[in-house]
Structure formats: structure tokens, C-alpha cells
């Protein structure tokens, strides 16, 4: 399906060599974390996933490891098998969650989108119900705006990958319009930060866990709702509407637009 490609094994730290020996390696071609992600398969055993960061993405890997360890006390997340820092980089080895991603399921059966959307919403409510005062990580709009501005000033925003609604606009235009229409009040809950169909695992129609946790932190709930709404819209308006109804919230066009614009910078 073009989502991964078989490769030759790569060098790993000596302490992890036994854990990955005899496994078949596949390189992920979908994730946008900036790290290299490998699926390691061995007959009769569960997959392992190895994520490798260079110097430029090392802080992202550290962020994900810390959030994975914390969120595991509240929701199903991959088991951490090992983490290490080296000169100029680092690595993280995790287990797999059962099931298939929500995207894989909907790609195979788009008609199931409204029903699956309700399960996605129920899981998101569980995440947002975690006591915010217990979360040590900040991911609010002020922090993301500062990071977005840094990326824009450094010329790192990929304008040719903007959504259709903004394709052809410059990053500066999107930035100016986003600030002009920023909602006056934003709430604070524990968010995933990238609550997309590729990051949610499903078994028998129910979401059982989430992956790619590097952006977990306190933020407005529409940070997650907007990304999920946009992901589901690919499979029809009914799916996006069913998600909002199951979550128990009305469409807030101002917050939806703000968070979708902000996400363009990452």
C-alpha cells in the first residue's frame, strides 16, 4: 500500500541487539515526526517499533518518551522497551498495540466511517477527561503559536502542502488571517496534539489505544477535535458530524478554523 518499505537491518546500540536480532525490518513512509520509524517483525512474536532521531529531532524523541510514560497511567499506549541517548541522536524501542489504525479500516471500508467516528469520539472524551491538573506538559496555543512563528521565520513551513482551503496562500497570509480570527477564549484539557486516524488503534470497532504521543499536553480541546474532524471529512460529512455528536459538542467554526490554520505550520 506504499505505507512502508522493506529494508536491510540498520545498526542498533549493543544493548538492544538481542531484542531486534532475526527480525525483518520495514521503514515507515507515512509518519511526520521527523524521526526514522521502523517496524521489526519476527514470526510468532509481536512487532517492535524502533524510532531513531538525529540531532535536529532529538528533543522531539525525548518529549515523546516522557509523554508515553506519563499517559500510560491513564490510557493504553505502546509499552516502552528501551530508550537511549547517543552523541548526536537517540532511539526509542516500543511494543505494538493490537488492532489496525482507524485510517486502515476506513480505507478498506469507507461506508463504516460514521460508526467508527462515534468510537473515536468516545476515546477522545476519555483522553480529555484526564484531570488537567495532573498533566505536567503544556501544549497550549501560545506555545504552538511561538513555535509556528519560529518555523515561518526560518522558512520551514511547507506551503505546497497546505490544505485545499489554503493552498496557494503564503504562510504569512495564513498567519495574519489566523491571528485576526483567533477565538477570544480557549479551554484547557489534556490533548493528544495529533489526534488523526493514523494514530488510533481499533479492535472490533472500538478504539483501544493511541500512538505518536510527542505533542501530548494541556491545550484547547479543539486542537484534537479539529484534526479529527478534518481527518474524517475525507470520508464524508456524515462521519465528521457523527463524531461531534458522539463527543457531545456543537461545531465551533471559529475554533475549528483557528486550529486547522495553526496546524499548517507543523
Mean pLDDT, residues 242-250 taken together: 97
User: What pLDDT score does 33 carry?
Assistant: 62
Confidence (pLDDT) at 32: 56
Q: What is the pLDDT of residues 173-198, one digit of tens each?
A: 999 999 999 999 999 999 999 999 99
User: For 45-58, how does the pLDDT look when each residue is reduced to its tens digit (9 = 90+)?
Assistant: 889 999 999 988 99
Q: Could you give the number of structural domains in the chain?
A: 2
CB atoms inside a 10 Å sphere around CB 263: 18
Q: Kindly state whether residues 208 and 111 are assigned to the same domain.
A: yes
The CATH number linked to 26 is: 3.30.200.20
Distance CA 124, CA 199 (A): 12
Task: Specify the 3-state DSSP secondary structure of 250.
Answer: coil
Does residue 151 share a domain with residue 120? yes
Q: Are residues 16 and 104 in the same domain?
A: no
- pTM listed for this prediction: 0.91
Same-domain check for residues 76 and 108: no
Residue 133 sits in a domain whose CATH number is 3.90.1200.10
Catalytic site residue 160? Answer: no
pLDDT beyond 70 at 160: yes
Dump strand ranges (E) for the chain: 4-7, 24-28, 36-41, 48-54, 80-86, 89-94, 100-101, 189-191, 200-203, 206-210, 217-219
Structure confidence at residue 37 (pLDDT)? 92
Tell me the per-residue pLDDT of 5-51, one tens digit each, with 9 for 90 and over: 999 998 887 777 888 889 999 998 876 567 899 999 998 888 999 99
Query: Can you give the residue range of the structural domain that contains 8?
Result: 4-94
Looking at 60, 194, 220, 238, which residue is catalytic?
194
Q: Is residue 80 located within the same domain as residue 190? A: no
Same-domain check for residues 199 and 132: yes
Asked if residue 116 and residue 58 are part of one domain, the reply reads: no
Amino acid at each position: 500500500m506504499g505505507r512502508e518499505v522493506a529494508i536491510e537491518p540498520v545498526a542498533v546500540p549493543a544493548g538492544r541487539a538481542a531484542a531486534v536480532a532475526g527480525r525483518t525490518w520495514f521503514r515507515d513512509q507515512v509518519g511526520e515526526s521527523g524521526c526514522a520509524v521502523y517496524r521489526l517483525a519476527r514470526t510468532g512474536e509481536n512487532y517492535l517499533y524502533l524510532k531513531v532521531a538525529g540531532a535536529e529531532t532529538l528533543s522531539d524523541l525525548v518529549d515523546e518518551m516522557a509523554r508515553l510514560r506519563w499517559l500510560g497511567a491513564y490510557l493504553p499506549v505502546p509499552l516502552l522497551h528501551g530508550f537511549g541517548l547517543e552523541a548526536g541522536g537517540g532511539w526509542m524501542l516500543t511494543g505494538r498495540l493490537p488492532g489496525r489504525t482507524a485510517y486502515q479500516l476506513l480505507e478498506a471500508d469507507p461506508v463504516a466511517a460514521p460508526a467508527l467516528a462515534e468510537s473515536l469520539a468516545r476515546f477522545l472524551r476519555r483522553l480529555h477527561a484526564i484531570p488537567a491538573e495532573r498533566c505536567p506538559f503544556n501544549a497550549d496555543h501560545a506555545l504552538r503559536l511561538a513555535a509556528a512563528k519560529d518555523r515561518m521565520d526560518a522558512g520551514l513551513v511547507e506551503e505546497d502542502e497546505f490544505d485545499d482551503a489554503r493552498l496557494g496562500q503564503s504562510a504569512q497570509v495564513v498567519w495574519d488571517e489566523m491571528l485576526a480570527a483567533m477565538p477570544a477564549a480557549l479551554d484547557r484539557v489534556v490533548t493528544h496534539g495529533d489526534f488523526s486516524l493514523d494514530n488510533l488503534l481499533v479492535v472490533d470497532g472500538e478504539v483501544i489505544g493511541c500512538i505518536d504521543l510527542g505533542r501530548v499536553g494541556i491545550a484547547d480541546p479543539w486542537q484534537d477535535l479539529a484534526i479529527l474532524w478534518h481527518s474524517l471529512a475525507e470520508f464524508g460529512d456524515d462521519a465528521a458530524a457523527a463524531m461531534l455528536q458522539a463527543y457531545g459538542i456543537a461545531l465551533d467554526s471559529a475554533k475549528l478554523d483557528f486550529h486547522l490554520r495553526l496546524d499548517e505550520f507543523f
